[in-house]
Chain A
């Protein structure tokens, strides 16, 4: 597609349930990123994938969070045993790379997760 696609756009789940969020990056973009944005807060880096390199997982807040990416396509972010503090907008972004140049990201419209 023309942009980064995320699904679902909204998700309400009960505390303790697992959720899976999906991101479909722009075709040809080798890098894919997940961020979290709590209400009224800035973007918090979670994880990024670059081609076949090992992902940078340094931002994942706990072992309840995991993410996978198949090749240079779809990624899923999984949150196990959700807690109320997991409520946030989860944003996915992708970027193209060219040597040292870096062109910034294109974001999807996010998944708004509410844990009740």
Chain B
């Protein structure tokens, strides 16, 4: 079983739609959670951290359910520019309290006009 699992998609949605991505992780000791965005042939970039209380950044809402080891990302009012691959990421603490990030395979979103 992969440490971080995501539905690879692709998700094809019209502009303005609301779309949700889900992710599960296997290591119950995971400490920090993130969503990264990766555009085609580019490096991943941090989209947002995910907190237990849930957090929102504009059109993006992230949720964490530690009991179910489940993370979600909701995108409202999708824009063409949201088309990308969204990576679910969890960290496991190593020495010195830093983290080794484990990436899911990513979910591809294609927003169509």
Contact = CB atoms under 8 A, between A and B. Distances in A.
A97 B97 contact: yes
B97 A45 contact: no
A102 B91 contact: yes
B58 interface: no
A108 B43 contact: yes
B32 interface: yes
Interface residues of B, number: 27
B103 interface: yes
Contacts of A35: 103
Interface string A22-48: 000000001101010000011101001
A110 B43 CA distance: 7
A56 B92 CA distance: 12
A93 to B, nearest CB: 8
Given A42-B87, A102-B31, A105-B101, A53 B43 contact: no
Contact of B99 (A51, A54, A102, A106): A102
Contacts of B96: 30-31, 50-51, 53, 97
Contacts of B95: 50, 53-54, 56
Interface stretch (B12-20, B44-52, B64-72, B73-81): B44-52
Interface in A83-108: 91, 95, 97, 99-100, 102, 104-108
Given A53-B95, A97-B96, A104-B49, A91 B43 contact: yes
Given A41-B105, A43-B87, A43-B103, A107 B98 contact: no
